[in-house]
Amino acid sequence: MSFLSGKRILLGITAGIAAYKTASLVRLFIKCGAEVKVVMTPSAKDFITPLTLSTLSKNPVYSSFTSEEDENEVWNNHVELGLWADFFVIAPTTANTLAKMANGICDNLLMATYLSAKCPIYFAPAMDLDMYKHESTKTSIERLQEFGNILIPPGTGELASGLVGEGRMAEPEEIVEFIENSISSNLALNGITVLITAGPTYEAIDPVRFIGNHSSGKMGYAIAEAALKFGARVILVSGPTSESLSHKNLTIVDVMGAEEMYQNVHKYFGESDIAILSAAVADYRPKTVSKQKIKKQDSTFSIELVKTKDILASLGEIKKEKFLVGFALETENELYNAKKKLANKNLDLIVLNSLNDDGAGFGTLTNKVTFITAQGDVFEEGLKSKMEVAEDLIKLIVTSYVI
């Protein structure tokens, strides 16, 4: 998962030799989960074809106000293009286009779209060494930054002229990384580490059998994804689950039983700012675990169980300034029991699930929860997707937790 996942990116391409790199840039944006549209200056088509870019982006490529084949066709609306985008990336940005952007010269579709855009605008200069060093270029870049546009600095290396120096457009991978870092730096949980537990625990009876529960891990993984979207670094301690998630800011620690989860949660708790314990941890485990498979013999079979360590309560005792969130899955006296757990375990927030609600509980794609804060606020939510519940939870934490 990327910070660009689900975002709409408008890529502006101008007439520089570095335009050939934009094919890779489009593919990287799409790999990140973004939707991409391309607008080109007419001269940019001398360096890379619209057919290549439309094939890669799976969208039409725009380069003029009307169709070149049919001048009577409805115009390409630059205002709609500018408003469609979540991010506008102009790469490569030639010296000519820099000057136009800095001075509001609107003589092509790309410039009209630029002047209409309301979203963050990134520009990646690409030109020869002396052109990049020229005072007019410096002035254009400074003015664009004053406008709030974001410079993606060029690299240093061999240029098309054969000279070696600054002015080479950043590589596609560098552009994507720069934009992701820029986005994350402005997110609410940037610089915050969130520790999350997810899934069930399996308590071994013998090498074959275990005591477990029906938790799928879907809720915990959704919470991790939502926290990542808000810019957090996430440590996910996960019991056995088929769920998967990947992100450069995500560390997944796989565990099996309650004791292993307890040890790893305490291992990472010290470096976290927020802890959200959504895992369904076994309350009991077999007192002894057979080293060999237990054979079926008698008509009845008994297992002596002992209590597992209470992970949530143990964190409540040592949390100090950390923000601690627990989950309560109840079947009776739901609100009373959840409030009791909130107080007894020294939580800042508890999420109440009821198995009596249709569409809630284990294994479903939806959930119906009630958020209860330490201050006594109760927020009862309707049935939502687990992703929506996760985002609601993170938003509530952001508003409650003084970062």
Contacts of 69 (CB under 8 A, 6+ apart): none
Nearest 10 degrees: Cα torsion 161, 166, 168, 169: -160
- Cβ neighbours of residue 250 closer than 8 Å, sequence gap 6 or more: 1, 224, 228, 233, 234, 236
Q: What are phi and psi of 168, to 5 degrees?
A: -75, 130
Distance CA(231)–CA(193), nearest Å, equals 9
In the set 59, 77, 190, 213, the catalytic residue is 213
Report the alpha-carbon distance of residue 135 to residue 125 in Å, rounded.
14
213 carries an active-site annotation: yes
Return the residue matching tokens 């999420």.
351
**Residue whose structure tokens are 């360096």:** 47
Contact 107, 96 (CB under 8 A): no
Q: Which helix (H) or strand (E) holds 274?
A: strand 274-277
**Residue 230 contacts residue 210 (beta carbons within 8 Å):** no
Catalytic residues: 213
